Structure 1
């Protein structure tokens, strides 16, 4: 299945390099590139073929990445967004995930990681590296409410489903593991999104970290 990708970054050389890299990946095609947030939003409106995933730089002129992300998620909630950044700062990470970002990629990442991030977000709705998760955990634990409040909010089954989501199992795999139907798992996933006020799976991962419902070593399956 082909993955349509778009990129928004004001540094032309970096953008062109990323565009060439993405076009070289199997079953992946770069459908457009933008130099700022406004241009990105215009292209998303104009183009008949919408991107599945957008690689979005945070610091751009005219309309920065965070503002563009908020508008994008209102108008096109199905489009997934990976933030490109040189700032691995916890408040940046938290703000963008709360605004609906699906993952994070450092601008000095290896080409293999760029491909992995796009494929993971396309398949599982989120992608975080271990260093990013560590930064998020440190920033979140400071702000976490009491665990008891969390305990009461989620049922035992919902916690099981949440843990498997964090371990990057998809709904079908979770259904098989827990001997449930796909529909039941999707029901649990929707309840988790509602109960935790999360916009997407990346938000659920954030919630699980914040409330210590999963340890970092549990993220590799």
Structure 2
């Protein structure tokens, strides 16, 4: 496993510190750093090997994190994005997840958590801490937020697959657990994304929380 990482943050000292931290992790390499969203998009257009994971600050001049994320997901859908922020309000979290973010990391996180977040997003497509999930759950029950979640007819098997996805099992592990082929599991995952109108696994986790298909205890194992 080798993970290429990029970072976009307008605070130079923080950005340099994160760059050094990422390069200190085993099997990780920071391929470039950007000072804002526009700079990130410009650099992406000129690299031969794109990053696997981008650490993206939410509050930046020229092009903020949310606007950058939307453009990123349109043009570089395969790249995973972890939002870096001091804002832990649910409307920020939900807006970025809806726009396609794969995870969320507070700027005061421990170095071990930064490493864990990058690895989990790379392997499992999403990373949330329990406090973040609690904030999201509270946000989802507030009707004032612009969340569009209709009730969908998921099959019992799809619900089963969704629960295992939320428990952070990958496709191979789900296939083994349910005695299915990998292709069948991927089919269920694609159906879940289509039925719920979500961009990625992080969105499926939100959907499962919203419809009480899982509870937060699911994530503590």
DSSP 3-state at the match of 1:49: coil
Q: CA deviation at 1:153?
A: 1.3
Instruction: Give me the TM-score of the superposition, normalised by structure 2.
Output: 0.96
Instruction: Give me the TM-score of the superposition, normalised by structure 1.
Output: 0.96
Task: Count how many residue pairs are aligned between Structure 1 and Structure 2.
Answer: 218
Q: Which consecutive residues of structure 2, in runs of 5 or more, have no partner in the other structure?
A: none
Q: How many angstroms apart in 2 are the aligned matches of 1:90 and 1:177? A: 34
Across the aligned residues of Structure 1 and Structure 2, the Cα RMSD in angstroms comes to 1.4
Contact 2:125/2:202 (8 A) holds in 1: yes
Q: Give 2:169's aligned residue.
A: 169
Q: Give 2:186's aligned residue.
A: 186
Contact 2:97/2:203 (8 A) holds in 1: yes
DSSP 3-state at the match of 1:29: strand
Q: Give 1:159's aligned residue.
A: 159
Q: How many angstroms apart in 1 are the aligned matches of 2:47 and 2:218? A: 40
Q: Give 2:27's aligned residue.
A: 27
Residues 1:93 and 2:103 aligned together: no
Q: Give 1:44's aligned residue.
A: 44
Q: CA deviation at 1:49?
A: 1.1
DSSP 3-state at the match of 1:46: coil
Contact 1:57/1:65 (8 A) holds in 2: yes
Contact 1:141/1:211 (8 A) holds in 2: no
DSSP 3-state at the match of 2:62: coil
Q: CA deviation at 1:141?
A: 2.4
DSSP 3-state at the match of 2:174: helix
Q: Give 1:63's aligned residue.
A: 63
What are the residue-to-residue correspondences of 1:139-150 with 2, within 5 Å? 139-143=139-143, 150=151
Runs of 4+ in 1 over 2 A off after TM superposition: 141-145
Q: How many angstroms apart in 1 are the aligned matches of 2:112 and 2:173? A: 25
Q: How many angstroms apart in 1 are the aligned matches of 2:81 and 2:202? A: 11
Q: How many angstroms apart in 1 are the aligned matches of 2:141 and 2:170? A: 26
DSSP 3-state at the match of 1:153: coil
Q: How many angstroms apart in 1 are the aligned matches of 2:66 and 2:99? A: 8
Q: Which consecutive residues of structure 1, in runs of 5 or more, have no partner in the other structure?
A: none
